Amino acid sequence: MNTDLSNRKCIITGANSGIGKETTLGLAKMGASIIMLCRNEEKGENVLREIKNSSGNQSVEVMIADMQDYDSIRKFVENYKSIHNKLHILINNAGIMKKKRETNNLGHETTLATNYLGHFLLTNLLLETLQSSAPARIINVTSKSHKRGKIDFDNLMLENNYGRFKAYNNSKLANILFTYELAQRLEDSGVTVNAVHPGAARTNFGREFSERTRKFLKLFKRFTISAEEGAKTSIYLASSPEVEKITGKYWFKCKKVKSSKDSYNREIQRKLWEVSKDLTSL
Ligand SMILES: NC(=O)c1ccc[n+]([C@@H]2O[C@H](COP(=O)([O-])OP(=O)(O)OC[C@H]3O[C@@H](n4cnc5c(N)ncnc54)[C@H](OP(=O)(O)O)[C@@H]3O)[C@@H](O)[C@H]2O)c1
């Protein structure tokens, strides 16, 4: 791809590992100015050196935020806005799956807080900057597993019946509901928003899995793709002129695909938006 992104400013969450790292490298090679949003400075700086060396692009930097901690996200945005006045590409990529139920300082279940609520807040706090930089693009990294997710407004934080897959699938459905609702709200604004399933990619995602689970998953290795391959759709949506005006869609292998029936439910989309606003004190 010969796309030139040298005038484009980009934030990528979870940029120090797996799909986020490969997305950063791909866009850095196209000349984008990139802010790698990482929670761990040392990890971020190590990968930053690699990215600069491999891409030759020196306009890449690390900024710190913890996506489950809303105060830290507010600080990040404040800091970002004090340095930069433009933002053209926001890639909401960071994600986790927690084996045991944990909560953030507000009592929100950590998987939902990290994968969805933190990104809901980050995106909303950056919306004005994105709109004033239009054309701009938002890409939400979700998963095919959203199809097994369910938004139960009476039990969003899975207080009584936590399961790691349940928490993860619900958070990934929330990513898509958010994408569709935001696309409606941003109609004709010059800012597009799309969701991506990267495919089953070999990354550090299973770091919390037990040795036994990891051994079991290795049996399926031949059905998996590299992290580089997993980053392709995010890179495509962030950079290709073909999709400049396309918004409110769900993508896999650089093609529009259908998401689950629940994800298109306007009532759930609207309600989730309102509930998320309250939860993050937006
Ligand atoms: N791999 C797959 O097969 C697959 C399939 C479908 C969807 N996805 C999605 O793809 C995205 C990227 O995952 P990956 O597979 O590349 O996994 P990964 O290698 O584990 O990368 C996840 C990234 O998210 C960061 N992160 C986690 N919690 C964070 C927090 N609280 N604040 C800031 N950053 C945080 C991690 O930082 P640390 O290094 O500091 O932990 C890491 O940089 C996720 O949204 C995941 O749900 C992956």
Q: What is the pLDDT of residue 104?
A: 98
Does residue 4 lie in a domain region? no
Looking at residues 121-127, what average pLDDT do you find? 98
pLDDT score, position 208: 73
Residues 80-117 pLDDT 10s: 999 999 999 999 999 999 999 999 999 999 999 999 99
Percent over 70 (pLDDT), the chain:
99
Is residue 139, in this structure, part of any structural domain at all? yes
Mutate to test the pocket of ligand 1, among 17, 41, 67, 122 (most ligand atoms within 8 A of CB): 17
pTM for this predicted structure? 0.97
Count of structural domains within the chain: 1
pLDDT tens for each residue of 199-214 = 999 999 877 777 777 7
Of 39, 50, 146, 218, which is best to mutate to test ligand 1, by the most ligand atoms within 8 angstroms of its C-beta?
Answer: 39
Whether 1 is covered by a domain: the verdict is no
Determine contact, residues 123/182, Cβ cutoff 8 Å. yes
Q: Is the pLDDT of residue 1 over 60?
A: no
Angle between helices 70-83 and 118-132 (to 10 degrees): 20
Asked if residue 148 lies in contact with residue 169, where contact means CB atoms within 8 angstroms, the answer is: yes
Spatial separation of the C-alpha atoms in residues 26 and 21, rounded to whole Å: 9
Q: Give the pLDDT score at 227.
A: 97
Tell me, yes or no, whether 149 lies in a domain: yes
- Is 162 marked active-site? no
List the domain range (segments joined by +) for residue 64. Answer: 9-279
2 within a domain of the structure (yes/no)? no
**212-251 pLDDT per residue, tens:** 777 777 767 778 999 999 999 999 999 999 999 999 999 9
Q: What is the CATH number of the domain that holds 61?
A: 3.40.50.720
